[in-house]
């Protein structure tokens, strides 16, 4: 099952620092020489197919960290797939979702 960190805020500098700290914290103790595989992308660019590729088990057993920025921009179908991936006990990845907060479109 995935580990999830939610960063909420619209101040870019503070969000960037919080995301960097979360990535660092999730990277500690992985025992990997090169560190974990970190995939960082805007929510609007995340697709269901892309999500499946990013969270599927690695051939090299590396830790995977998925950073989704502007998570409020993820479409509904992809968001549902992301929730399903987080709840799947067979998938082992770490998710950092950065959300601007508030209600989208208001």
Per-residue pLDDT of the chain (106 residues; tens, 9 = 90+): 678 999 999 999 999 999 999 999 988 866 666 678 899 999 999 999 999 999 988 777 678 999 999 999 999 999 999 999 999 988 889 999 999 987 766 5
Q: Single out the residue of 99, 62, 55 nearest to residue 81, CA to CA.
A: 55
Structure tokens at 40: 């960082």
List Cα–Cα distances, 65 to 45, 75, 88, 102, in angstroms: 16, 20, 16, 25
**0.85 cut: is pTM over it?**
yes
Classify residue 90 by burial, with Cβ atoms within 10 Å: 0-12, 13-18, 19+.
Answer: exposed
- Round to whole Å and give the CA distance between 6 and 73: 15
């Amino acid at each position: 099952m995935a580990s999830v960190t939610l960063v909420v805020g619209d101040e870019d500098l503070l969000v960037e620092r919080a995301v960097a700290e979360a990535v660092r914290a999730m990277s500690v103790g992985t025992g990997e020489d090169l560190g974990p595989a970190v995939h960082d992308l805007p929510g609007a660019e995340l697709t269901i197919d892309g999500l499946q590729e990013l969270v599927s088990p690695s051939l090299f057993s590396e830790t995977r960290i998925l950073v989704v920025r502007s998570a409020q921009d993820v479409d509904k179908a992809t968001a549902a797939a992301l929730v399903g991936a987080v709840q799947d006990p067979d998938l082992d990845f770490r998710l950092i979702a950065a959300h601007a907060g508030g209600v989208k479109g208001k």
